[in-house]
């Protein structure tokens, strides 16, 4: 049994090779050579994770995440792709916060430019 994450337990079961070789069901249970014995993994989730999974199955939660995809995920992808902000170039919380603020400011200015000034430039070019 191992706990890799908070609230998630992984159980690993393994039969000995001798046990599998003596079994009459070996051909069905161990496809292929089956020389190492059969192994089985089982994941057990804690109550907090179970509650979260159940909550995410509701239509309300799915609607929230559809909205989140439109609102939050695009800016994150833009920052990673256009600005290359996959890793911070500095160390320390204050410097990382400053780099994050600059990246977000850049994104917001470009969005403002697209929504406010680009349509005005297009209409003035057509009128001229």
Q: What is the pLDDT of residues 97-108, one digit of tens each?
A: 999 999 999 999
Q: In this predicted model, what pLDDT tens digit does every residue of 60-88 receive, in sequence order?
A: 999 998 888 888 888 888 888 988 888 88
Token pair for 55:
């909550």
Domain shared by 67 and 40, yes or no: no
State the pTM of this model.
Answer: 0.46
The H or E element containing residue 40 is strand 39-45
Token pair for 1:
């049994």
Domain shared by 32 and 70, yes or no: no
CA–CA distance, 92 with 112 (Å, rounded to integer): 30
Q: Is residue 51 in a domain?
A: no
Count up the domains in the chain and report the number: 2
Structural domain boundaries enclosing 105:
58-127
Token pair for 108:
């917001």
Domain shared by 82 and 22, yes or no: no
Q: Is residue 52 in a domain?
A: no
């Amino acid at each position: 049994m191992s706990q890799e994450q908070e609230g998630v337990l992984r159980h690993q079961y393994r039969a000995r090779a001798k046990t599998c070789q003596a079994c009459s069901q070996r051909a069905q249970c161990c496809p292929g050579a089956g020389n190492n014995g059969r192994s089985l993994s089982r994941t057990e989730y804690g109550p907090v994770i179970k509650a979260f999974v159940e909550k995410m199955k509701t239509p309300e939660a799915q609607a929230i995440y559809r909205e989140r995809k439109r609102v939050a995920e695009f800016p994150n992808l833009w920052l990673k792709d256009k600005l290359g902000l996959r890793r911070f170039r500095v160390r320390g919380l204050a410097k990382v916060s400053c780099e994050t603020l600059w990246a977000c400011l850049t994104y917001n200015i470009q969005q403002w430019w697209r929504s406010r000034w680009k349509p005005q430039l297009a209409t003035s070019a057509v009128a001229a």
